[in-house]
């Protein structure tokens, strides 16, 4: 028993050491702080604990079907004090990426009206005639006409950009919806063209996050419920990660994954004892 207690104490010290340099947290939303329309009971205590430790945080979502305003209003309805500036999505990262390639680009955009409005506000032209890029997001309004036109331009060499690689989006009652990665796979099957992905876990998303926070990658940690996106982004960039089991990943799946989180916890609030005070 004494040896077991000593081992646990050593593990705690090792985890605390891994998070010692953290100045800000990248916080996933759905599955991490809430599920669908239901806020996890422990989320307010978790965010309050971060504030008490003087740690900054940015809410980061791959879901490109909604605007940052949509997310802020949703979280406000849940009772959280959140503004748009505290939220960063794969849509914003994609807009910023494209702006570095070509300002005011012509886009054939496959996405929701909310996603389309964000690209228009950034100065892009949405068109199905001679686009500079085909841009695909999580499109809950997807139909065959969009598929046909997108394939037409991809076969003619127009670059293919996808906001994020998630194959499905979890919803209530353990159900899920086909997400951008699933739609991208259909386009690839039809045309042979693979997209460039922007959202988690890809570097373009992390670049946008560090730019927004004005911090170095080494100042950050990632908290999320998905090994393939949240944890992979931290793992690939050698920053600490916390996998929460409140969303899309079981402990068994985590145990057998090649992507290893720094710590596996039941709820985000369970991370607080491992975090520094600034």
Q: What is the band of 173 on the pLDDT scale with cuts at 50, 70, 90?
A: confident
3-class state of residue 72 by DSSP: helix
Closest CA to 77 of 28, 110, 49, 37: 37
Mean pLDDT of 24-41: 95
CB 230 within 8 A of CB 209: no
Which token pair is 9?
A: 């104490």
The domain defined by 91-197 carries CATH number 3.40.228.10 = no
- Is the confidence at residue 6, as pLDDT, over 60? no
**Cα-Cα-Cα-Cα dihedral sign, residues 122, 128, 134, 138:** positive
CB 194 within 8 A of CB 159: no
Neighbours of 232 (CB within 10 A): 22
H or E element at residue 91: helix 90-101
The domain 2-62+200-274 is classified under which CATH number: 3.30.920.30, 1.20.810.10, 3.40.50.1000, 3.40.50.150? 3.40.50.1000
Q: What is the band of 7 on the pLDDT scale with cuts at 50, 70, 90?
A: very low
68-77, 171-180, 247-256: least confident range? 171-180
- Is the confidence at residue 2, as pLDDT, over 50? no
Q: What is the band of 10 on the pLDDT scale with cuts at 50, 70, 90?
A: low
Which token pair is 61?
A: 């979502």
Residue 223's DSSP bridge partners are 27, 242
pLDDT of residue 202: 97
d(CA 12, CA 70): 38
Average pLDDT over the chain reads 94
Q: CATH 3.40.50.1000 in the chain, residues?
A: 2-62+200-274, 91-197
Condensed to tens digits (0 to 9), the pLDDT of residues 112-130 reads 999 999 999 999 999 999 9
């Amino acid at each position: 028993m004494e040896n077991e207690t000593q081992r646990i104490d050593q593990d705690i010290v090792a985890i605390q050491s891994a998070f010692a340099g953290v100045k800000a947290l990248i916080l996933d939303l759905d599955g991490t702080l809430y599920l669908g329309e239901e806020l996890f009971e422990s989320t307010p205590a978790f965010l309050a604990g971060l504030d008490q430790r003087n740690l900054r945080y940015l809410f980061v979502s791959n879901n490109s079907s909604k605007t940052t305003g949509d997310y802020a209003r949703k979280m406000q309805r849940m009772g959280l004090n959140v503004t748009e500036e505290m939220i960063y999505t794969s849509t914003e990262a994609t807009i910023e990426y494209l702006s570095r390639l070509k300002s005011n680009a012509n886009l054939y955009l496959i996405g929701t009206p909310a996603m389309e409005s964000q690209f228009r506000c950034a100065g892009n032209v949405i068109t199905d005639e001679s686009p500079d890029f085909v841009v695909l997001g999580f499109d809950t309004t997807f139909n065959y006409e969009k598929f046909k036109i997108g394939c037409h331009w991809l076969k003619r060499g127009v670059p293919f950009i996808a906001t994020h690689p998630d194959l499905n989006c979890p919803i209530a009652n353990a159900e899920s919806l086909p997400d951008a990665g699933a739609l991208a796979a259909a386009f690839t099957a039809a045309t042979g063209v693979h997209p460039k992905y922007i959202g988690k876990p890809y570097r373009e998303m992390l670049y946008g996050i560090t730019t927004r926070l004005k911090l170095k990658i080494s100042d950050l940690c990632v908290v999320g419920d998905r090994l393939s996106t949240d944890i992979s982004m931290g793992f690939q960039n050698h920053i600490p990660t916390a996998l929460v089991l409140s969303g899309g990943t079981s402990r068994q799946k985590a145990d057998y994954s090649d992507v290893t989180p720094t710590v596996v916890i039941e709820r985000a609030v369970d991370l607080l004892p491992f975090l520094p005070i600034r």
